[in-house]
Amino acid sequence: MSEFNEEFWCMSDDERMRLVVEMFPTIGRTGLAKKADVGEKRARTFLSKIDNKVSPQKNSNREHLVEQLVNSKLTERELNIIIESTKSVTKEASPAKPKFVGRFKALVMSDTHIGHKCFNQDWYYSMIDHAVKEECDWAWHVGDILEGMSGRPGHVYELEAIGFEAQFQMAVDLFNQCPFPIRGITGNHDLWYAGKGDIGLNIGMRLQSALPDKFFFLGNEEADEIVNGIKVKLWHGRDGSSYAVSYRCQKFIESLSGGEKPHILLSGHAHKSAFFECRNVQVIEAGTLSEQTGFMRGKKLAAHTGYWIIEVWTDELGLERIKTEWVPFLTRQKR
């Protein structure tokens, strides 16, 4: 308000507003209220009453309209209503908002269970080739990177790679062939090596150490990432599969308070594929790259085999839109 002197501040509210409008003919009620130090309601009322807020062009347009209507068969009341409705107040122009603040494209995979005989390497290589063609910026892995060793009777006979070092090296070789970064969390199978048998290994940290430019460890079983101003949550969980595919994630989202909710939830563990919205959260059940195991068949649980390609646009308000593509593997694939 440095453009006004002490005399200005000694004027009445209406005098100050009139002087401001003369200096800034296109000012809006917010600017007028600030410069003249009055309430916005009073500034709006003042602007609606003064003639100089209507441009000469609009005045000319109104006069032309009156000339057209004067010879029409309208009552005086109807003419007055029409003329009154042509009055308008010139509003302060607001700066144009940028359409997009950011955009990214990512591969989403989960439950590879590397080391199990049902992990399909052909699917993995096909997925990476497709993601390269789609020009993905990175991949998210939502846990159960390795199969682990559960100690369950007969489990060892289901393994292609037995023991941590064999499964770990298999993962290193596979991830090293991915040309873009993989950002991931661990799942319950990965944590078998951290707890059972007191081995105490953190697979995520070991992969990051072995592949410093390829794999980025985000956390055990759950992690949040902020990308272009929006929150993406990776969540694995330990509960079982639900009858309705969406139910498990719906209950998880219901457990989050408003400030904890992400814009996008990437969910693993259940070996299911789905995309839906819950409480304004875009939910993606990430599927699996492991064919149905004997354990799952015995529990009558289907394996939704495949992966997602997601494209996300953000603006200054957060998530603007999301485009998802589920790529299923319906038959066994050979390279």
Instruction: Give the C-alpha separation, 250 to 112, whole Å.
Output: 24
User: How confident is residue 1, by pLDDT bands cut at 50, 70 and 90?
Assistant: very low
pLDDT digits (tens, 9 = 90+) for 266-300: 999 999 999 999 999 999 999 999 998 888 888 88
Structure confidence at residue 56 (pLDDT): 45
pLDDT digits (tens, 9 = 90+) for 193-215: 875 544 568 999 999 999 999 99
pLDDT, greater one: 307 or 57: 307
For 234, residues 6+ apart whose C-beta sits below 8 A from its C-beta are 140, 142, 143, 184, 185, 218, 219, 222, 223, 224, 225, 266, 268
Give pLDDT tens digits for 43-91: 888 887 765 444 444 445 555 655 665 556 666 676 666 666 655 544 4
CA–CA dist 24, 35 (Å, integer):
10
Host H or E run for residue 231 = strand 230-235
| pLDDT at residue number 43 | 82
Pick the CATH number of 102-328 from 2.40.240.20, 3.60.21.10, 3.30.360.10, 3.90.950.20: 3.60.21.10
Rounded to the nearest integer, the mean pLDDT of the chain is 84
> Rounded to 5 degrees, what are φ and ψ at 133?
-65, -35
> Would the pLDDT of 107 be above 50?
yes
Residue 94 has pLDDT above 70, yes or no: no
